Amino acid sequence: MTDIHQTPFIGVHLMLIQNNQLLLQKRKGGFTDGIYTPVSGHVDKREGVIDALIREAKEEAGISLKKEDLKISVIAHLLDAPYKGGRADIINYFVFTDKYEGEIENKEPDKIKRLEFFDMEALPSKLMSHIFEVIKAYNRKENYIVIDYLDKK
| Sign, Cα dihedral of 151, 35, 119, 62 | positive
CATH topology of domain 11-148: Nucleoside Triphosphate Pyrophosphohydrolase (3.90.79)
Q: What is the pLDDT of residues 25-81, one digit of tens each?
A: 999 988 789 999 999 999 999 999 999 999 999 999 999 999 999 999 999 999 988
Of the candidates 5, 39, 7, which has an alpha carbon nearest to the alpha carbon of residue 23?
39
Q: Find the mean pLDDT for residues 2-13.
A: 83
The CA radius of gyration of the chain, in Å to the nearest whole number, is 15
Q: Find the mean pLDDT for residues 67-96.
A: 92
How far, in Å, CA of 88 to CA of 101, rounded?
Answer: 34
Please tell me what DSSP assigns to residue 136. H
Give me the helices (H) in 33-128, please: 49-61
Output the pTM of the full model. Answer: 0.92
Domain residues of the chain, as ranges? 11-148
How far, in Å, CA of 112 to CA of 106, rounded?
Answer: 7
